[in-house]
Structure 1
Amino acid sequence: MNQQRPLTAAELDQKSYLEARDSSDKELLIFAARKSGRSPLKIQREFRQLARSESRLNLVEYVRNGLYHIDRFNDEERSAFISNDLHWPITHKCNDRRWAGAAEDKIVAETMLSAGDVPVPQTLAVLDTSSRLFPGKQKIQTPSELRSFLQKHTGETIFGKILNGMVSFGAFRIEQADDTHVHCAGHDPLTYQEFMQNYIGSNAYLLQKALDNHSEFSSYCSALATVRMVNMVTTERVITPLAIIKLPQGDNIADAFWRPGNLACEVDIETGCIRTIAQRGVETEFLRDHPSKDGLMGLQLPHWNKLKEINDRAARIFAPIRYQSTDIAITEDGPVLVEMNYGGGFDLPQYASGRGMLTPEVRAFFKSCGVELTPPRRKGLFSRRRK
């Protein structure tokens, strides 16, 4: 009898992500009908009209954005929502695709940003069993090399993320290491051999010194929060139509909104003040304040002007990626750019703000990139990708 291979950290996260997968179409319609007191047939008919428009929303997005509530949105506001299924086609149309690797390979992006005087996390080593070289960085390939590295950094918290990963799959936080075992937050201790062979697998990781949130909002988070800045780069300037801060909660070590319990808040671009507090569910729930501590709503984030300056500089360094996003942490010493993203999903900004992304400004930008927003060809409207 063959023994099943243990799941890697990335596979464990993907499994958790899929376990929180969406309800069936029937369940979604029943949910919306019960919440609104309206007929499922009427909700279905209204959804079909929107799904046949240029927005191309699927039923999951329609319900999660609460668009079935007739008293919350008018027709113009509903038409501003856009399906995340269109993210990659639009992103590729806007951008020079040759730059995708520069943004998504985190060591390449870090090198470029650092050379451009953009503050980035301190990468202490790269964990990689391939033959690739990482100039200027320590490379770890064996369990014994990992043990030596962690013993050298005794007392420090080490954060690991996949070199070319997305949505925080596989992220881990090493809180302690002894002669025989690695102790990661939320997991049983692993021997160095188990950690390398089973937990890491074939993935390459950056090992970074963990950052801490600024004290003005650290009590609202369980781990590092980052601000997602949605950027549109023109020949004259960088336009940032939306900013969202993602706040990890509970036992979560990463801020991705798909992780159960995490919060996402729209931030006013001009002032840095928190405008909404959203929590994901079948339908996004907007809270009056933090679930366990008052004071989050309306809080002005520290170092906001500096954060905008850093975002603008990073966006210009990666200007061939015209539609992009950055994830920026706010530490006691100032903002630190954690991720540069080739594109950026439409779902997070819409879920967090409660508004559609297709403002006249965003439409004009997409049009300038050659994007044509058109209704879909007639086919089954209830077929959709899982979110």
Structure 2
Amino acid sequence: MKLKSRILQIYRGIKMNRTFILKQRKSSVPTDLKNNIKLARKGFLGESKTIYNFSKNEMKYYLSDIQRLRTRYINAPYSFILDEKVVFESMYKSRLKIPQSFSLIKKGKLIPLHQEYKMENINDLIRYLDSNEKCVIKPIRNGGGYGIHILSKIDNDYYVNSKRVTFNEISRIVEALDDYFVSEFITQGKFGASLYSETTNTIRIVTMIDPATNKAFIPIAVQRIGNKDSSPTDNWTQGGLSAEIDLETGTLGKGVTYPREGILTYHDYHPETQSKISNAVIPHWDIIKKEILEAANLYPYISYIGWDVVTTDEGYMVLEGNNFTDVNLLQVHKPLLKDERVVAFYKTHGIIK
């Protein structure tokens, strides 16, 4: 067993270092080699100097990028419940409002999941669009808004991610997919649309199980807001904005954009639409917070979840739960390790010493 455990540790270490190097190469934040080497020795990507403003802030209070990669294994061996989006739906749909999944896509073939909408082929998919106007196709095991296809019918035309397409083009797109699923499209409410109407703007809520009480708590939550660079999603590193949420009141702080130009820029108003961000209040916040905590307490062995929530005019929907969360769009607002509960949580799971 000791040998097996050691081999697993080595494998995870190699995988984390490889991911770290790839992220360093893909970062669009201006850095220099000397800075990158200096920060890498401390477990941070070169971009973190800008994102966390290390010229003014103490590095010791920030979860590093390599430590963040280690959090992938906190929920093991139950990570698949969050990694597999269809499994997540089946586990939590009795307690949370979650979009319905209609079909799996395996090697271009549709496998129905839903009794009412038996989506077995491309014709069934088109019939659903004809009646319901929109649906979404997502990777089963991916996050960050990557690989998403939003299908819609407007008047008599079909669209994929706002591009007009033919029936045959939709068919070819679906036939090229593997390990995807078709889900109902959730239309955000007036609040989300007021922030930016061209993307679905989601809330990221982090929950942790307190090792002292075995109860869930929320250390931080942010509202993500899309723009023309991130469209059709609200992904922060693709150009969107992140605004911290006051956990007591649901009030938004300023929105900050990913520093592609090497400078953090904070916005009281959306830079494209001039819609108000700072001091806007999330509707139904008390209900959202209460029910997310209740869901997090359902399975305390799944102790670390990044919940993606969209507000609707009737309440909210949980789009997915993530096995481990990006922390740059969180810690751009404040360091996680100034919260003693967070420190105790990460220490318990061997993420920090």
TM-score computed with the length of structure 1 as normaliser? 0.73
Instruction: Give the superposed CA RMSD.
Output: 3.0
- Closer/same/farther in 2, CA of residues 300 and 102 from structure 1, 3 Å limit: same
What is the SS of the residue equivalent to 1:311?
helix
1:164-202 Cα offsets, whole Å, 9 max, x none, are 2211112122221798x742233241433x323345623
- C-alpha distance in 1 between matches for 2:32 and 2:218: 35
- C-alpha distance in 2 between matches for 1:316 and 1:172: 32
1:118-267 equivalence runs, <5 A: 118-128=96-106, 129=108, 134=113, 136=115, 138=117, 140-151=119-130, 153-154=131-132, 156-176=133-153, 182-192=158-168, 194-198=169-173, 201-221=176-196, 222-234=198-210, 235-250=213-228, 252-260=231-239, 262-267=240-245
Q: Once the 2 structures are TM-superposed, how far is the Cα of residue 328 of structure 1 from its aligned partner?
A: 0.9
1:350-379 Cα offsets, whole Å, 9 max, x none, are 23x1x2222232111111223344xxxxxx
Match of 1:22 among 27, 40, 49: 27
- C-alpha distance in 2 between matches for 1:303 and 1:213: 13
Q: Which amino acid aligns with 2:234?
A: D
- Closer/same/farther in 2, CA of residues 213 and 146 from structure 1, 3 Å limit: closer
Unaligned runs of 5+ in 2: 1-21
- C-alpha distance in 2 between matches for 1:345 and 1:318: 22
Match of 2:291 among 306, 310, 313: 310
Larger RCO: 1 or 2 (CA < 8 Å, sep 6+):
1
1:69-102 Cα offsets, whole Å, 9 max, x none, are x3x32x3xx321222332232331x32x121111
What is the SS of the residue equivalent to 2:44?
coil
- C-alpha distance in 2 between matches for 1:304 and 1:146: 34
- C-alpha distance in 2 between matches for 1:86 and 1:369: 11
CA contact (8 A) 2:246 2:252 kept: yes
Match of 1:86 among 47, 62, 67: 67
Q: Once the 2 structures are TM-superposed, how far is the Cα of residue 145 of structure 1 from its aligned partner?
A: 3.3
- Closer/same/farther in 2, CA of residues 134 and 213 from structure 1, 3 Å limit: closer
Match of 1:324 among 290, 301, 305: 305
Q: Which residue of 2 aligns with 1:268?
A: 246
Q: Which residue of 2 aligns with 1:280?
A: 258
CA contact (8 A) 1:118 1:313 kept: no
What is the SS of the residue equivalent to 2:336?
coil
Q: Which protein has the larger Cα radius of gyration, Structure 1 or Structure 2? A: 1
CA contact (8 A) 2:191 2:311 kept: no
Match of 1:60 among 19, 23, 47: 47
Q: Which amino acid aligns with 2:189?
A: H
Unaligned runs of 5+ in 1: 1-16, 31-40, 374-387
Q: How many residues in Structure 1 have an aligned counterpart in Structure 2?
A: 322
Runs of 4+ in structure 1 deviating by more than 6 angstroms, as ranges, are none
Instruction: Identify which range, 274-283 or 79-88, moves more after superposition.
Output: 79-88
Instruction: Identify which range, 311-320 or 182-191, moves more after superposition.
Output: 182-191
- C-alpha distance in 2 between matches for 1:106 and 1:331: 21
What is the SS of the residue equivalent to 1:329?
strand
What is the SS of the residue equivalent to 2:48?
helix
What is the percentage of aligned positions where both structures have the same residue?
19
- Closer/same/farther in 2, CA of residues 315 and 182 from structure 1, 3 Å limit: same
Q: Does 1:107 align with 2:86?
A: yes
CA contact (8 A) 2:158 2:165 kept: yes
CA contact (8 A) 2:140 2:179 kept: yes
